[in-house]
Structure 1
Amino acid sequence: MDNRMRGVAGTPSASVANDAEQGVEGWAVNRQGLVGQAREIQVTGAAEVCCPADRATVRFMVGNSKASVSDVTSRVSKRVEYILQAARQHGVREEDVTVRKFLHRDEELYHMNSEVTVTFSDFEKMEQVCIILLEKLDKSVSVGMPRFFHSAECLNRIRQSVCVSAVDNAQQKASRVSQLLGQSLGAPTLIREMDTREWRGKDEDGAQWGEDTSHAAAALLPRIPTITATSLVSVYFRLREGSRKKL
Structure 2
Amino acid sequence: MAPTPARASAEQGRAPPGRRWREVRVSGSAELSAGPDRARVSVWLGCRKVTEEAARTSVTRRIEFITHRARVRGVTKENITVTEDFSRVENIYQMEALICITFSDFGKMQEVCKLLTEKLGTSVTISPPNFYHTPEALDTLRRQVCVAAVRNTRGKAQEVCQLFGQSLGRPLLIREEETKEWEGHVDSPVSNSLDSLTLQERIQNATAYASCRVFAVFEIRGKANKKNKLL
Relative to the length of structure 2, the TM-score reads: 0.82
The one-letter code matched in structure 1 to 2:214 is V
Does the CA contact (< 8 Å) of 1:181 and 1:244 recur in 2? no
The one-letter code matched in structure 2 to 1:88 is R
Deviation at 1:178, TM superposition (A): 1.1
Does the CA contact (< 8 Å) of 1:45 and 1:233 recur in 2? yes
State which of 149, 166, 182 in structure 2 corresponds to 1:166: 149
Distance in 1 separating the partners of 2:17 and 2:27 = 26
Distance in 2 separating the partners of 1:243 and 1:64 = 80
Deviation digits for residues 47-72 of structure 1 (CA, Å, limit 9, x no counterpart): 01122222211111111122222221
Aligned equivalent of 1:242:
223
Deviation digits for residues 17-69 of structure 1 (CA, Å, limit 9, x no counterpart): xxxxxxxxxxxxx9568322332222111001122222211111111122222
Aligned equivalent of 1:73:
56
Which is further off, 179-188 or 109-118? 179-188
Query: Number of paired residues?
Result: 208
Aligned equivalent of 1:3:
none
Alignment of 1:13-162 (within 5 A): 31=14, 34-162=17-145
Distance in 2 separating the partners of 1:140 and 1:207 = 25
Deviation at 1:219, TM superposition (A): 4.2
Which is further off, 62-71 or 223-232? 62-71
Does the CA contact (< 8 Å) of 1:92 and 1:120 recur in 2? yes
Aligned equivalent of 2:198:
221
3-state DSSP of counterpart to 2:45: strand
The one-letter code matched in structure 2 to 1:204 is V
Bigger relative CO (Cα 8 Å, ≥ 6 apart): 2
Deviation at 1:110, TM superposition (A): 0.8
Aligned equivalent of 1:190:
173
Distance in 1 separating the partners of 2:80 and 2:117 = 18
Q: Which runs of 5+ in 2 are unaligned?
A: 1-12, 227-231
Relative to the length of structure 1, the TM-score reads: 0.77
Aligned equivalent of 2:10:
none
Distance in 1 separating the partners of 2:193 and 2:91 = 46
The one-letter code matched in structure 2 to 1:99 is V
The alignment status of 1:205 with 2:186, answered yes or no, reads: no
Which is further off, 49-58 or 199-208? 199-208
Q: Which runs of 5+ in 1 are unaligned?
A: 1-29, 209-217
Distance in 1 separating the partners of 2:224 and 2:98 = 72
Deviation at 1:236, TM superposition (A): 1.5
